[in-house]
Structure 1
Amino acid sequence: MSNLRIGVVGVPGKWSTEALADALETSTGFRLVIDMAQVELQLDTGRLLYQGTDLTELDGLVVKKISEVYTPATLDRIELLRRAEQAGVRVFSPCRSLLQLIDRLSGTQSLSGAGIPLPPTRVTESLSAAQTAVEDFGSAVLKPLYSTKARGMTLLDVRDADLKARLEAFAADNPMLYIQKKLDLSGRDLGMVFVGGNYLCTYARVGSGDAWNTTIHSGGRYEAFEPDAALIELGQRAQGCFELDFTTVDIALTDEGPVVFEVSAFGGFRGALEGCGIDAAAAYRDWILHTLEQEQAC
C-alpha cells in the first residue's frame, strides 16, 4: 500500500467524488474530501487550510469537482489551489489547465485555434448581431459562459414570434451572447474518456425524447459506443489542447461529420461505468499514483 496523502477536491456526498476518494483510500489508507467553500488561504502564513489540514503539506490534490455550478467565483477557487501548486503539491489536473475550461468561451477559443471541428458558433454583445445569427442558423442554442449539464441554455428558433424579447431576456443575465447552431443529433451524443491523455472508452448519451438535449440531468441514459480510429484521433486532439489528467470530450456525430461540443474540466465517472462497464475512478487512481511515484523518484 502506498503512503501517499492525496486529497480529493469535490462535493462531499456526491457519487463521483466519493468513488474517487474510496479508490484512493483503498490504495493509500488516506482519505480527505475537500469542500472548497470551507478552504482558507492565509497569505501571511503561506498555509491553505481545510478543517485543520494544511493542503500545502499533502502529496497531491485531485480536483474532481470545484463547485456544484460554474460561476466566475469558480475561477477564484482554482486560484486558491494555485497556492498548493506553488508549494510543490501536484494538482490533478493542473490549475492552468482548469482555468481554461471554466469559461465556455475560453475553451471554445482554444479548440477553434487548434482546428478542432465545432458547431457553427457566434459570440457577441450585440443583440442585432445575435438575432442575425439565429436567423442564419434557423435554430440555435444560447449557452451561458458558465454552466454545466445544459443548465441555463435556451433554445431559439427563427420562427419564434418573441425572438427579440427572448434574446433580450437572456442577455439580461448573460451580456456576452454565445450562440451555437442547433444540430440534428438524432437524440444521441458521445462522451470520450481520457486518463493521462490516453484513451479509455467512449459512451453514448441517449436523450429521453422529452428534452432537446441528451444530458442525464434532463432524463438521458448511457449506452456503450465503439468509435473508429478517426473519431478517437479527433478526441485525442481536442483533449490535447488542455493537458488534463482526466477529461471527457463531448462529441456529436452529424451529417457533415463529427464535431466537438466541449472538453470537460471535471469529467464524470458514471458514464464510463454504466455505458462501458469500466471503473474510471480506479483507472484515474492508478494514473495519479503512478504519476506521483514517478515524480517523487526523480
Structure 2
Amino acid sequence: MNKPKIGVVGIPGKWSTEVLADALEQRTGHRLVIDLAEVVLDLSGPTLSWRGHDLTALDALVVKKVSPVYGPGMLDRIELLCQAEHCGVRVFSPARSILRLVNRLSCTLALRQADIPMPETVITEEVGEAVAAVRRFGQAVFKPLFSTKARGMTLIDADQPEAQLTAQVAAFKADNPMMYLQRRLALGGQDLGLVFLGGEYLGTYARQAQGESWNTTIHSGGRYASYQPSAELIELARQAQRPFQLDFTTVDVAETDQGPIVFEVSAFGGFRGALEGAGIDAASAYADYVLEALS
C-alpha cells in the first residue's frame, strides 16, 4: 500500500512547523511545507498549487499556522483550505473549525453559547461604553480580535482621570475598531494550557509570569512549567473544545478565586508548551493520529 502524501501548512523555518514536517516525513518519506502566502487558486481549472505542486493531489494537509501575523487576511487564506477540502483533500483541523477560532469574537461567542465560564467581557465600537466598562471592572484587558501570545493586548486601569482613561481607550480603538475587553482577574501568576488530540486529553502545562509582567505568555517573558490539573478542570477544557471539532488544540484555562475560567480555544495548539511544560511530543502524536485517520 502506498504511503499517503501529506503537506504541512505553516511557516517554513519555524520550529513547530518543521518538527511536524519532520515527524510526518519519518513516517511517510514525503515532505512538503507550504506557505499559504504563495498558494495560487486558479478557478478556471480549478487548480490549487504551491510552487508547482498540485495541492489537490495530496491526501491531506495538516495546518500548523496560516500566517506569521494574525489579522483579517487569515480568513482569506483559510478559504483556500476550504477549497482544498472541496477538492477531496483531508484537512487537519477542518478549515471551518479553524475559521471559528482565529477571530477572538467568534470563539468567545461559541464558548458563551456553550455555557463555558469566561471572564466578564464587553465588545463595543463605542469609546464611551468601553470607558464605562473599565470603570465597572476596575481593570480591563483590551484584546485585538486577531492576535496570539498576547500581542497587541493592553491593560487599562480605571484609577486615573477621565480624560486620560478616554485617551487610552481611543488609542486602542485606533488600531482596533471593534474593541474587545475583559475584566482582569487575579490568576496567581499563571494560567494553563490543556492539550487535546482528536478530543482526547493528553496533558497540561502552565505558563508562569516572570517579574512584574501582568500576563503569562512566553512572548512577555513567561516560562513553561508542569502542572497536574483536577479532573473537574480537565472536563471543563474538554467541554470547551468540543463544539469546534478540532484535531489538535490547546485550551487556555485559569484558576481564579471565583472558580476556573476559559480564555480561549486555540485554532492550532501549542507544541512548545506541550513539550517543555508537559513532556508531550505533540508533533509525533499528531503525525500518528493523522496517519491513523487516513488509514
Q: Which TM-score band applies after superposition, normalised by the shorter structure?
A: over 0.9
Counterpart secondary structure, 2:109: helix
Counterpart secondary structure, 1:146: coil
**Alignment of 1:104 onto 2:95:** no
User: How big is the shift at 1:160?
Assistant: 2.7
Q: Deviations over 1:46-77 (max 9, x none)?
A: 11110110111100000100111211110000
**Alignment of 1:183 onto 2:185:** yes
Equivalences, count: 293
User: How big is the shift at 1:111?
Assistant: 0.2
Kindly provide the amino acid, as one letter, of the partner of residue 36 in structure 1.
L
The match for 1:227 is 229
User: How big is the shift at 1:266?
Assistant: 1.1
User: How big is the shift at 1:2?
Assistant: 6.3
User: How big is the shift at 1:172?
Assistant: 1.2
The match for 1:218 is 220
Kindly provide the amino acid, as one letter, of the partner of residue 191 in structure 1.
G
Mapping of 1:31-42 within 5 angstroms?
A: 31-42=31-42
Mapping of 1:11-90 within 5 angstroms?
A: 11-90=11-90
User: How big is the shift at 1:210?
Assistant: 3.4
In structure 1, C-alpha distance between the alignment counterparts of 2:122 and 2:10, rounded to whole Å: 33
The match for 2:4 is 4
Structure 2: tracts of 5 or more residues without a match: none
**Alignment of 1:267 onto 2:295:** no
In structure 2, C-alpha distance between the alignment counterparts of 1:103 and 1:8, rounded to whole Å: 22
In structure 2, C-alpha distance between the alignment counterparts of 1:194 and 1:160, rounded to whole Å: 42
**Alignment of 1:236 onto 2:241:** no
The match for 1:296 is none
Kindly provide the amino acid, as one letter, of the partner of residue 230 in structure 1.
E
**Alignment of 1:149 onto 2:149:** yes
In structure 1, C-alpha distance between the alignment counterparts of 2:279 and 2:31, rounded to whole Å: 25
Q: Deviations over 1:167-211 (max 9, x none)?
A: 111111111110100111111000000001100000000111232
Kindly provide the amino acid, as one letter, of the partner of residue 64 in structure 1.
K
The match for 1:194 is 196
In structure 1, C-alpha distance between the alignment counterparts of 2:198 and 2:93, rounded to whole Å: 9
Counterpart secondary structure, 2:244: coil
Kindly provide the amino acid, as one letter, of the partner of residue 12 in structure 1.
P
Q: Deviations over 1:92-122 (max 9, x none)?
A: 0001101101111000000000000000101
Kindly provide the amino acid, as one letter, of the partner of residue 32 in structure 1.
L
In structure 2, C-alpha distance between the alignment counterparts of 1:222 and 1:214, rounded to whole Å: 9
Kindly provide the amino acid, as one letter, of the partner of residue 31 in structure 1.
R
Kindly provide the amino acid, as one letter, of the partner of residue 4 in structure 1.
P
In structure 2, C-alpha distance between the alignment counterparts of 1:238 and 1:267, rounded to whole Å: 14
Determine if contact 1:139/1:156 at 8 Å carries over to the other structure.
Answer: yes
In structure 2, C-alpha distance between the alignment counterparts of 1:268 and 1:30, rounded to whole Å: 24
Aligned identity (percent) is 63
The match for 2:169 is 167
In structure 1, C-alpha distance between the alignment counterparts of 2:227 and 2:139, rounded to whole Å: 28
Q: Deviations over 1:228-281 (max 9, x none)?
A: 111110000000020000000000100011000000001121111111111011
Runs (4+) off by over 6 Å: none
In structure 2, C-alpha distance between the alignment counterparts of 1:16 and 1:122, rounded to whole Å: 33
Q: Which moved more, 1:19-28 or 1:210-219?
A: 210-219
Q: Deviations over 1:123-161 (max 9, x none)?
A: 111111111100000000010111111011110000133
In structure 2, C-alpha distance between the alignment counterparts of 1:83 and 1:177, rounded to whole Å: 31
Counterpart secondary structure, 1:240: helix
In structure 2, C-alpha distance between the alignment counterparts of 1:224 and 1:2, rounded to whole Å: 40
Measured on the aligned residues, the alpha-carbon RMSD in Å equals: 1.0
The match for 1:289 is 291
Kindly provide the amino acid, as one letter, of the partner of residue 130 in structure 2.
A
In structure 2, C-alpha distance between the alignment counterparts of 1:69 and 1:185, rounded to whole Å: 27
In structure 2, C-alpha distance between the alignment counterparts of 1:77 and 1:241, rounded to whole Å: 22
Kindly provide the amino acid, as one letter, of the partner of residue 240 in structure 2.
A
- TM-score of the two chains, using structure 2 as the length reference: 0.98
